[in-house]
Amino acid sequence: MVAEAPGSVRLVLAPNVVHLDPEPAVFAAMREGWARQQSARFLQSTTIQPRLRLIERLGEFTGLYPWQWSPADGEAFIVHLRSGSAPVQLSTARAYEVIIALFMEFLLDRRYGWAEVCLDRFGQAPQEVFHEGNSVLHSVEYEGDPRRRPLTYDEVQALFDAADARPGRIRGQGRKGTLTALRDAAVLKTIYAYGTRRTESSKVDLVDLRRHRKAPQFGQFGSVAVRYGKSSKGAPPKRRSVLLVPEMDWVVDVLGEWVSEVRPRLLPDRHPALWVTERVGRLSPRSINEAFVTARRDAGLDEDLDLHCLRHSYITHLTEFGYPARFVQEQVGHSHASTTAVYMGVSDEYRNQLLEASLKRRLGDDWDLE
């Protein structure tokens, strides 16, 4: 007996059941089958569920079912998303096209039997919706929001000053939240000092703070073991060890105060997380993001800056400190140097220093940049 492939029509659509409304029943079974197929590939629910919602949105937009969709329907859907008061980014539109194309590829795969069922029950079979002729081309390396950029050194300082001022202001108003405000300031500083992502930061435990034998002066904060790094589709989380660089050694005092003085006052008991809440839970990525937004607002910084910009800043500033590109890439856990490069936004002063050094090497001391 040959085992059925996960997502096969025979596994999710009962053959002997007559549906009073067959079209929505088959559409629901298709989505269930695709979810099973993706689960068999070890994709996480956080990937699968948004994909299924997108397929539902396309059905709602067209008022049709997948075996009725045509390229014109897909094109109209993308045009709709790219218009209006909140148009999607180009990269988002491409991602949507890829997801829809994957769903149609699943339906057309003969191993799952969906095309045959559609022909038998409705007299129509699914077809490609997006192809090379009507899909967004991927022509450049980076298509993210151009407003996202590294913070300058002054902006980083202003952000931290605003975060540091918040506990005193809360205390002066007689409100609760002083300890959590102290925590939020420490979180933002730590994210910048180690260049971690919000989810990575949320999942750091106390045991992930490590000594580094080459830098004993940093004590237990010489490195951070990141065990929940961003994973590739269907792969487990990536691991890496982030070393504390001397230029960021000020974070040793920040973390020391948090671990030994502030965190114990939240009564975390045996909770393993480095960052805990007042209800003795793990601080969520969303709460970390909210801490950044609050500090950014208090500092009067550009509203287009987001938490991920601290990671951009870390990469940029490590480069300006003179660290090799490969070291920076390893620190932030990028698989490709090109990814690290697009995060970078070095200052004019840094470029001028490189130019001056190059001219000195070539022309000696008798050169004039004017």
Annotated catalytic residue 336: no
Q: 221, 202, 201, 222: which is closest to 212 by C-alpha?
A: 222
- Dihedral sign, Cα of residue 194, residue 199, residue 202, residue 206: negative
**Catalytic residue among 36, 238, 308, 350, which?**
308
Q: 173, 168, 176, 171: which is closest to 277 by C-alpha?
A: 176
- For 35-49, give one letter per residue: b (16+ CB within 10 A) or e: bbbbeeeebeeeebe
**Catalytic residue among 10, 138, 175, 230, which?**
230
CA distance linking residue 258 with residue 274, whole number of Å: 9
CA distance linking residue 180 with residue 248, whole number of Å: 23
**Catalytic residue among 51, 197, 203, 263, which?**
197
Annotated catalytic residue 147: no
Annotated catalytic residue 171: no
Annotated catalytic residue 343: yes
307: left (phi over 0), alpha (psi -120 to 50) or beta: alpha
Q: What is the DSSP letter of 65?
A: -
Which residue is associated with the tokens 């929940």?
228
**Catalytic residue among 31, 311, 312, 317, which?**
311
Annotated catalytic residue 311: yes
Give me the active site residues, please: 197, 230, 308, 311, 334, 343
